[in-house]
Amino acid sequence: MQSRRAELFYWAAILFSNTLGTALGDFLAGDSGLGFGGGALLIGGALAVVVALYYFTSISRVLLFWLAFVLTRPFGATFGDLLTKPVERSGLGFGTQGS
């Protein structure tokens, strides 16, 4: 059974992860000095910590799910930029279209 509270929480999480997650990924890649690779490694490391917490602690699985859910957006933004941005901008230069 769905409740208004659960639905509001879900949409708040979507809004938070999409808006602030992308902004965090951009900040890590640009303004923090980490670059695309460093930002992806940092967020990937945070995701690895969430996975470790899942397997080795009794922290709420719901909380861990939402932490992982929110972290996937900045990870996708930084890792995607790492793959697609030109080498001179610290990317790998694969581009956004296949040849």
Do residues 74 and 36 lie in contact, with contact meaning Cβ atoms separated by under 8 Å?
no
* pLDDT for position 20: 82
pTM given for the model: 0.80
Residue 43: predicted pLDDT: 94
d(CA 54, CA 61): 7
**Cα–Cα distance measured from residue 19 to residue 90, given in angstroms and rounded to the nearest whole number:** 24
Residue 99 in this model has a pLDDT that exceeds 70: no
Cα(28)–Cα(72) distance, integer angstroms: 14
The 10s digit of each residue's pLDDT in 23-70 is 888 888 888 889 899 999 999 999 999 999 999 999 999 999 989 988
- Spatial separation of the C-alpha atoms in residues 83 and 37, rounded to whole Å: 9
pLDDT digits (tens, 9 = 90+) for 2-22: 789 889 988 888 888 888 888
DSSP state of 91: S
Residue 77 has pLDDT above 80, yes or no: yes
